[in-house]
């Protein structure tokens, strides 16, 4: 696990404490062979290897639910992905422990937004997804939705 100084040097900011706890406890990997969770990477590797990285949204991914700050590089940090092409991000507004989880669903119904924001950290978001306690399934697939027997496999 990278030190706090290495993380700040690489990203220009700290990362949320609940995410760091998740990485220290479980490490990077996949939940039920569906949601991959990236590890933080060193300063020289940010954007070059698979790992948490600054990102931005692209308008062609759908504008419903898209906040303007998402369009600026670094307005989002990607932390996860699904085989369906969904992306899991943080909105980097405010202090890291206040960052919201943002999901871009590649496959969604005509009345559903492509982009959804959740006012939880990564751990709260994952618990609510696995328990089915969000307004709707945040991902394209149903592998995690209401799946209280989900398994984690470390990379």
What is the structure's pLDDT at 63?
Answer: 59
What is the structure's pLDDT at 109?
Answer: 81
Span 105-129, pLDDT tens digits: 988 888 888 889 999 999 999 999 9
Check which CATH number belongs to the domain holding 18 and give it: 3.40.1580
CA distances from 55 to 1, 78, 107, 142 (A): 22, 6, 20, 26
Span 33-58, pLDDT tens digits: 999 999 999 999 998 899 999 999 87
pTM: 0.93
Average pLDDT, the chain: 93
Number of structural domains (the chain) is 1
- Describe the crossing of helices 17-25 and 122-131 by its angle, rounded to 10 degrees: 70
What is the rounded average pLDDT of the residues 90-104? 96
Burial of 52 (0-12, 13-18, 19+ CB in 10 A): buried
Range of the domain at 63: 4-154
Torsion of CA 132, 91, 119, 155, to 10 degrees: 40
């Amino acid at each position: 696990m990278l030190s706090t100084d290495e993380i700040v040097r690489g990203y220009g900011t700290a990362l949320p404490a609940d995410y760091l706890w998740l990485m220290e406890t479980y490490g990077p990997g996949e939940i039920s062979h569906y949601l991959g969770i990236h590890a933080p990477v060193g300063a020289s590797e940010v954007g070059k290897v698979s790992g948490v990285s600054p990102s931005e949204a692209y308008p062609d991914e759908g504008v419903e639910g898209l906040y303007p700050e998402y369009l600026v590089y670094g307005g989002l940090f990607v932390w996860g992905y699904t085989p369906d092409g969904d992306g899991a991000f943080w909105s980097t507004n405010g202090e890291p422990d206040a960052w919201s989880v943002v999901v871009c669903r590649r496959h969604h119904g005509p009345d559903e937004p492509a982009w959804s924001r959740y006012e939880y950290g990564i751990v709260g978001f994952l618990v609510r997804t696995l328990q089915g306690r969000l307004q709707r399934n945040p991902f394209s697939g149903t592998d995690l939705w209401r799946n209280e027997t989900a398994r984690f496999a470390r990379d």
